[in-house]
Structure 1
Amino acid sequence: MLEKNEKHGLLFYMKELTLVIVLFVLLLLFYCFAPKFMTIENIKNILVQNAYIIVSSIGMAFVIIGGGIDLSVGYQISLVGVITTISIQWFHLPVWCSVLIGLMIGTLLGAINGFLSVKLQVHPMVITLATMAIYQGISYIITNSNSIYGLPDSFKFIGQGKILGIPVSIIITVIVLIGATFFLSKTYPGRYIYALGGNGEAARLSGVNTSAMRVISFAICGFFVAVASILLVSRSGSMNSSVGAGTEFTCITAAVLGGVSMAGGEGKVWKVCVGAIILGVLSNGMQFVGLGVYPQYVAKGIILMAAISFDTYQKTAKSK
């Protein structure tokens, strides 16, 4: 009996660590083709360059775990970035105030998505497809398709600075990871989000305000997307309305690759983080071996298809 339990325990840990094993195999593979790939500096660059992807993917995970999806993430990043930078450049507000405004706007944009989905009783995919176009239009109207330059060093410090030799963007990402993990696993609202995605009707009958939790899950996603936007813009040091476009696809891929079920109700934040890092390693490694951007799109598409297929297989196996 003890031996059987030990086997089950080993299988459980092997399943939990599958993504980590895949990450190490991928690192080793690219190291074989390009030894300079595995330098500490390059690994640090991968983490810094993908900090905004990790943070926005965590936000996306909240929505998908709650049984929804947000296709407007890319242009939420764009609009938040535009509003934050014009607050600094056009209205000459302090950096801290501009960042706070950006975070509030991001949270509001996410909450609008959730509110419309609940009130109109339309699937979040349709709602966020519409708001994606709206946020895109507003972003381009504000900037008139012009770039915003000359951002202060105090703002760029968020994406380019270091504290005790550790990039600030990595520190922020770790804080987001810990905070999101704690919220989902240790608080009642976090558990309600799992319940909402697992079986919304059962959650409602048990007393959970499912409409409020839907809005909250989208608002949390919007907040994290706003953090991601600020990380991205402060690292680049400039802003234009095309920044962030297409990020939603990478976020969905990272979330599903990290084990978040597209049906909702399942997923762990740390696995989403590993999934996002795998995509970052893949992009960086393919560049090292001389492959361009378009093969990376193909690779990410294949990964997303494989992850969704595996998720569907697991669901089918459990139902049987």
Structure 2
Amino acid sequence: MRLIVTEKNNSAKKIATILSGGSAKEDKSYKVPYYTWSGPDGDQRTVGLKGHVVGPAFPEGYSNWQETDLHELIDAELTTEPTDKNVVKAVRKLAKEADSIVIATDFDREGELIGLEALAEAFAANPAIVGELAVATSEGDKERAPAATLTRERPNILRARYSALTKEEIERAFGDLDELSYDLANAGAARQDIDLIWGATLTRWVSLATKRYGSAFLSVGRVQSPTLVLIAERERERRAFTPEPYWEIEAALQNGEAITARHDTARFWEEEPARAAYENLTETARVTEVKEKSATRPAPIPFNTTGFLTAAANIGISPS
């Protein structure tokens, strides 16, 4: 049986519908939906995760803010914790019956890492399916096995890369399965570890230095804090801004079709020149030149999450 692992349930359902021609049946394992069908490639299942399978965490003994040396916090050997125990159980149960796995998580660094996390859980349940992996499982042991080179020499571990959940794109991706990038996944894991160490250490340091304890602590983060600085600077600029009056000259013209003509000087910063220009406009408007040109604009690249939310906000659609 081939197990296809996606990042979210809606992706698992859509892929199952496309690859099965609509014949996939839904079932659940530990309350996690999965989809089963049979086809030319044999029995297949898709299961959707809920983002990261595991996340980095500090080992026991570092929870007391006052008694923990922050230098030790920086050098602590991180462990991992499951983000959703039911997802971990479901992946392990389905992996026991699988003889190959296709990672079909999102086409980015985090997707690569999430796929590798799922493989680690599959390894814990069915070692024969993936061989040895130097990846932390939900049990938290990062020293469980030497690093593996995930290449086409491991035909039972493949990667589907797609940028849209369309029939054409999914069929193309599964017709040209690739290898999983272990290096890219490790880059994602390093980012996670840095975020935790940076955030936890500086949050504790700032909170202790300002005597902000309990729910009143001051949060610091690798992305959060620089973003907050940008917001604060922009707010200072907004508050310090003094509006300046300006004048614009526009003419509403019509000869079969209404158009708006604007003065060469887009904005007059003083009233006297603006009125002088306006008073000179006494004659009937006359078209002196017409220029036409053709232009080709390339199709825009697909949205990422940030770009999509920005574009949506520009037309009045909130993130919620």
The alignment's TM-score, normalised by the length of structure 1, stands at: 0.23
If asked which structure has higher relative contact order (CA below 8 Å, sep 6+), I would say: 1
- Higher-strand-fraction structure: 2
| Larger of the two Rg values belongs to structure | 2
- Higher-helix-fraction structure: 1
